[in-house]
């Protein structure tokens, strides 16, 4: 073939996207070093372009492009199991395993924002709760060994932020007790979780990254091997990963992993494809648990992310890909911002208030508090259990801790709330952001179990504000309690308009709408008040009298809720928590205990893992809309659907049936 023809072919090949040629991990094998470099650049361009349309975890993925490519080059997924801690950094993995349609990322029927088994055989762990990957890896690698699958490896990708979680160290303790398994732990060290990683682990890793002896050895070795040209540089990259074990002893630094009996390779430049590949190959060949310590940069290659001091675009909404500026315009303040303003006001008034966050200072609204009173806000890292118990200790010492956390992560600290806070009657307030349906982050992030779990804690008091004013009021009430735990829960997103009550009962229940005819009593939990009012209007159009109330404090059940229920034909509870063992169940049980036999229909989220999608789409999917609820209540009043409403007095049955004749046909 003539040179001109070759040149033309090369031009055509160069014009074809390398990324588009990747249908699976083994397509990486034939790529040259130059093509791999091009692939990394194309992935970053793709991520910025596509994630900016839907929102998602941009910064973490930009930081692991080369590391993920190297993992898939060296290991053979799905034969080799790759486990991502949290999954914040799994977009690159999705691209390399044949999923390059990001049009519907994190939306209904689109790609999930985290690994998902239903999407691909390459995805293993779906949960996005941090610090669990090493336990998964321990179990999988043991299973491979016990079943004779010694040709299979397990790779756990864990961030330095996840190392602040205690579960990581429980796993490492067990992994170090058995040194015969094919297990590689890749520590993605970018110095950050959401924000900069805190604690002793962070200080150690930062010391490794910045120590002069490492930098000196690094530069000297690079110059030395550089004299030998490309072969020398290749040798340098290959041995660099193992240098630190020697270096730490040489420089008299106490090695973190010295007593764990786990091979340690690193630190390695996580953006150096050749170095990462060589180091991972060494780790793979070792035949025992190995830690590969990689240094990466969150937001790598995207200037707006690098300039974002807060979290380097850890998670973004819809943004302008050129500038990084948000293109979303909130019509109202967020629930988080309302809490942020109010807790700062309360902290200014009360010097005994202290804040606690689990590595999420800004996402949970404690940043302003911390800026004003830096000594009174504690970041414990990704350690929710510790947060709860240390809060009990702070309460014992005379302070009132406010633990701000996502509702889904509260699940992890249940035992501590029960046994350390509640048992000891500690005055601790838990503020649960992202409660109920969160939407695009999917099953592991829906805050739908908090009400069912926490309401069984003896002595606990739980409030669910319906609007911004209610949040301010109920937060003030919560921090005034010093003889047991209090909980404030609210959803993700913007606060709706204020819903003014017609009246308030003596025990604090707000009556939002009161009907002349006592047919249906609608008990709303928090933001479900707007749906309850919509239902009442629809029922009124059908001649059914519906009264809507907001208990404000849903646990324990206020006495006035029970007394109101005595006079109605049907009670309907509406909550955005799981229906099983939810607030509706509690209301029904308390009614029966008080001798009230009014039928109760308990509406809430189904007892299942709910896929990602917008909050509105999900509520419609599970039947929590004004139209659906009103239609069901009409059928209950007519005696066509269980539970049947209690019958009217004899003199009113016929006229009511007449009124509802048309409704039954709708």
Distance of CA 154 to the CA centre of its chain: 24
Residue closest to 22 by CA, chosen among 88, 94, 126, 70: 94
DSSP 8-state assignment for residue 647 = P
Whether residue 384 lies in the annotated active site: yes
Residue 41, CA distances (Å) to 31, 46, 441, 634 in order: 14, 9, 27, 59
Residues 6+ positions from 643 with CB-CB distance below 8 Å:
570, 599, 600, 601, 636
Structural Rg of the chain based on CA atoms: 29
- Rounded Cα distance between 321 and 318, Å, is 9
Backbone angles phi, psi at 167, to 5 degrees: -60, -30
Residue 648, CA distances (Å) to 567, 568, 571 in order: 11, 10, 15
Burial of residue 252 (number of CB atoms within 10 Å: 0-12, 13-18, 19+) = exposed
Beta strands 503-504 and 510-513 are antiparallel
Q: Which of 73, 152, 412, 631 is catalytic?
A: 412
- Rounded Cα distance between 648 and 372, Å, is 60
- Rounded Cα distance between 61 and 409, Å, is 22
Distance of CA 408 to the CA centre of its chain: 7
- Rounded Cα distance between 300 and 303, Å, is 8
Whether residue 298 lies in the annotated active site: yes
Residue closest to 630 by CA, chosen among 513, 569, 539, 551: 539
Contact 336, 365 (CB under 8 A): yes
Q: Is the dihedral of CA 468, 363, 412, 382 positive or negative?
A: negative
- Rounded Cα distance between 94 and 82, Å, is 12
Q: At what angle do helices 529-541 and 626-637 cross, to 10 degrees?
A: 50
Q: Which of 106, 298, 434, 489 is catalytic?
A: 298
Burial of residue 329 (number of CB atoms within 10 Å: 0-12, 13-18, 19+) = exposed
Whether residue 412 lies in the annotated active site: yes
Q: Which of 50, 384, 474, 602 is catalytic?
A: 384
Q: b or e along 268-292 (b: 16 or more beta carbons within 10 Å of the residue's beta carbon)?
A: bbbbbbbbbbbbbbbbbeeebbbbb
Active site positions, annotated: 298, 384, 412
């Amino acid at each position: 073939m003539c040179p001109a023809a070759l040149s033309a072919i090369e031009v055509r090949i160069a014009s074809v996207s390398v990324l588009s040629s990747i249908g699976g991990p083994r397509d990486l094998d034939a790529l040259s070093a130059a093509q791999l470099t091009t692939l990394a650049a194309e992935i970053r361009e793709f991520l910025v372009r596509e994630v900016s349309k839907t929102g998602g975890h941009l910064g973490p993925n930009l930081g692991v492009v080369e590391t993920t490519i190297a993992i898939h080059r060296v290991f053979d997924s799905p034969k080799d199991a790759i486990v991502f801690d949290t999954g914040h950094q799994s977009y690159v993995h999705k691209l390399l395993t044949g999923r390059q349609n990001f049009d519907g990322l994190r939306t209904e029927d689109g790609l999930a924002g985290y690994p998902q088994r239903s999407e691909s055989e390459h995805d293993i762990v779906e949960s996005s709760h941090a610090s669990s990957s090493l336990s998964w890896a321990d179990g999988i690698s043991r299973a491979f060994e016990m079943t004779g699958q010694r040709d299979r490896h397990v790779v756990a990708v864990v961030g330095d932020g996840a190392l602040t979680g205690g579960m990581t160290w429980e796993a490492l303790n067990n992994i170090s007790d058995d040194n015969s398994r094919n297990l590689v732990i890749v520590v993605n060290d970018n110095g950050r979780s959401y924000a900069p990683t805190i604690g002793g682990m962070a200080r150690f890793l930062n010391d490794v990254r910045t120590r002069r002896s490492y930098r000196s050895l690094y530069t000297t070795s690079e110059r030395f091997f550089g004299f030998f040209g490309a072969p020398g540089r290749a040798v340098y990259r290959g041995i660099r990963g193992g240098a630190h074990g020697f270096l730490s002893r040489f420089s008299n630094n106490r090695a973190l992993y010295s007593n764990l009996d786990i091979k340690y390779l690193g630190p390695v430049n996580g953006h150096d494809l050749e170095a990462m590949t060589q180091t991972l190959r060494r780790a793979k060949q070792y035949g025992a648990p190995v830690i590969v310590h990689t240094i990466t940069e969150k937001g790598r290659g995207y200037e707006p992310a690098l300039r974002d001091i807060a979290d380097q675009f850890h998670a973004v909404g819809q943004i302008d890909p050129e500038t990084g500026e948000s293109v979303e315009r909130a019509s109202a303040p967020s629930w988080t911002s309302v809490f942020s303003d109010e807790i700062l006001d309360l902290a200014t008034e009360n010097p005994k208030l202290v804040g606690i966050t689990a590595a999420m200072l800004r996402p949970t609204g404690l940043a302003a508090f911390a800026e004003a009173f830096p000594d009174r806000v504690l970041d414990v890292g990704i350690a929710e259990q510790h947060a709860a118990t240390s809060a009990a200790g702070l309460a014992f010492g005379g302070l009132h801790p406010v633990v701000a956390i996502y509702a889904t992560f509260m699940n992890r600290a249940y035992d501590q709330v029960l046994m350390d806070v509640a048992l000891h009657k500690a005055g601790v307030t838990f503020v649960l952001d992202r409660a109920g349906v969160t939407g695009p982050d999917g099953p592991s992030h829906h805050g739908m179990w908090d009400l069912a779990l926490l309401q069984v804690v003896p002595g606990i008091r739980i409030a669910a504000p319906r609007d911004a004013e209610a949040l301010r009021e109920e937060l003030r009430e919560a921090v005034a309690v010093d003889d047991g735990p209090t909980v404030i829960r609210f959803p993700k997103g913007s606060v709706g308009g204020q819903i003014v009550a017609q009246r308030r009962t003596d025990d604090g229940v707000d009556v939002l709408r009161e009907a002349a005819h006592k047919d249906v009593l609608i008990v709303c939990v928090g933001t479900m008040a707007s749906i309850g009012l919509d239902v009442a209007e629809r029922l009124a159009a059908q001649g059914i009298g519906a009264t809507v109330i907001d208990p404000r404090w849903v646990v324990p059940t206020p006495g006035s809720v029970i007394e109101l229920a005595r006079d109605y034909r049907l009670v309907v509870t509406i909550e955005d928590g799981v229906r099983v063992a939810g607030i509706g169940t509690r209301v029904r049980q308390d009614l029966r205990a008080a001798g009230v036999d009014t039928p109760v229909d308990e509406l809430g989220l189904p007892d299942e893992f709910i896929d990602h999608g917008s909050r509105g789409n999900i509520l419609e999917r599970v039947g929590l809309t004004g139209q659906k609820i009103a239609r069901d209540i009409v059928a209950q009043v007519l005696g066509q659907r269980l539970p049947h409403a209690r019958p009217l007095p004899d003199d009113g049955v016929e006229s009511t049936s007449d009124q509802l004749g048309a409704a039954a046909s709708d």
